């Protein structure tokens, strides 16, 4: 499972005006034409290409946040069985929220939170009852954010997770990291009345 990369705060940065101005104009599922733009601003073309291929085969969803025509963040929803045996054992079939990142200059503006909420709403609309994620042991700020969003420790201790990081040639390589596993129950959430995912997939 790819741990959460950046400590994304849900608060609005008042330097950029109102909360409405701080949020991305829209978030949607990635298409092939987006890969080049993602790679320019977020690096790791090989990573995004591989995730897009998984998405084409219904093995996941790459969601991008856009602001004024520029990709400013992304998150990948892992729908395959987890790579880690303990997660497959304790959370069988649970979707995994991975690789949440926002460009540094756009952090603390609510974008990470909006991406998480969009993924959760998609899962609710698909009838899923849980979502899980991994947070690196030293990423305290991110863990605090997820707790505020309703995520709780899974109760089975920390786990060595495999992070995909760019290698010297730009291709992803595996890097083991000690992580907290956090889970959120989605059964209390209601499907969006404003067709949330139809917005994402358009």
The domain containing residue 61 runs over which residues?
A: 14-194
Residue 108 maps to a domain? yes
Q: Do 51 and 150 form a contact (C-beta atoms < 8 A)?
A: no
In a domain, 157, yes or no: yes
Cβ–Cβ under 8 Å, residues 181 and 153: yes
**Which of 41-50, 112-121, 161-170, 193-202 is most confident?**
112-121
Specify the number of domains making up the chain: 1
Q: Determine the pLDDT at residue 191.
A: 65
7 part of a folded domain: no
How large is the average pLDDT for residues 76-84? 94
Question: Per residue in 93-152, pLDDT tens?
Answer: 999 999 999 999 999 889 999 999 999 999 999 999 999 999 999 999 999 999 999 999
In a domain, 19, yes or no: yes
pLDDT at 20: 34
Query: Would you say residue 2 lies in a domain?
Result: no
Domain CATH code at residue 106: 3.40.630.30
Per DSSP, the residues of 48-86 read: HHHHHHHHHTTSEEEEEEEETTEEEEEEEEE-SPPSSHH
DSSP H or E segment with residue 164: strand 159-166
Specify the DSSP class assigned to residue 104. Answer: G
Distance linking the first and last C-alpha atoms of the chain: 27
């Amino acid at each position: 499972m790819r741990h959460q990369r950046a400590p994304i705060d849900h608060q609005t940065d008042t330097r950029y005006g109102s909360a409405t101005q701080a949020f991305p104009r829209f978030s949607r599922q990635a298409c092939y034409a987006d890969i080049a733009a993602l790679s320019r601003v977020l690096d790791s073309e090989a990573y995004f290409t591989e995730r897009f291929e998984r998405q084409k085969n219904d093995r996941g969803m790459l969601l991008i946040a856009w602001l004024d025509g520029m990709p400013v963040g992304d998150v990948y929803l892992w729908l395959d069985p987890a790579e880690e045996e303990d997660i497959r054992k304790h959370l069988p079939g649970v979707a995994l929220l991975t690789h949440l990142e926002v460009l540094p200059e756009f952090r603390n503006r609510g974008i990470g939170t909006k991406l998480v909420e969009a993924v959760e709403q998609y899962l609710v609309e698909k009838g899923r009852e849980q979502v899980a994620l991994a947070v690196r042991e030293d990423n305290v700020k991110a863990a605090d954010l997820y707790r505020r969003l309703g995520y709780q420790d899974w109760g089975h201790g920390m786990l060595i997770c495999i992070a995909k990081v760019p290698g010297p040639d730009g291709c992803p390589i595996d890097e083991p990291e000690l992580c907290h596993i956090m889970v959120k129950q989605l059964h209390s959430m209601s499907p969006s009345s404003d067709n949330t995912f139809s917005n994402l997939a358009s």
